[in-house]
Structure 1
């Protein structure tokens, strides 16, 4: 069950295809990944060694649960998790508006 304002509200349900021979049918009932619209970055932020996505969301949106908005605007961070490692220090990321 999804909340009425969930960002997954419009996601399509997952439907398993024909399994390969010898592979059991998955009992997974869930949703497919939601489609991500490109977001306009309105602020450029240079990453420091202490930055985390949830901390940036707290700083820019006053809500640390909105870290996914920053990730949506910067898909190159997908492998960074919430912690932005040393490889990201000095890179510039875009911070989108809190709500379009």
Structure 2
């Protein structure tokens, strides 16, 4: 950073922070899809998870099984701003992987 001559900041020590080494990416095992769900009006990921896994918090399994969606909500909604006007991806297919306890 450049300071003007006589700046009150010019005599301050320079910040030399440690280089951020980042985080190791989490390994996501390939999910074997066993079902295909066709998106219907008012579908929600937590509701689909409750329906297929009996646990609404397992919606991340749906997201991991469909890696083409950058964000989880992209599985159900169009790319534009989301509104309550039926802008769901009606008729799109979401892959539903096997329940974890059945894989063991």
Q: What TM-score results when the alignment is normalised by the length of structure 1?
A: 0.62
Spell out the pairing of 1:13-92 with structure 2 (5 A cutoff).
24-25=17-18, 31-81=23-73, 84-85=76-77, 86=87, 88-92=89-93
Backbone CA RMSD of aligned residues:
2.9
- Structure 2 gap segments, 5+ residues each: 1-14, 78-86
Count of aligned positions? 78
Larger radius of gyration: 2
**Which is further off, 41-50 or 74-83?**
74-83
Q: What TM-score results when the alignment is normalised by the length of structure 2?
A: 0.60
- Structure 1 gap segments, 5+ residues each: 1-21
Cα offsets for 1:37-73 (capped at 9, x unmatched):
2111101100113111111000101100100111111
Aligned residue in 1 for 2:98: 97
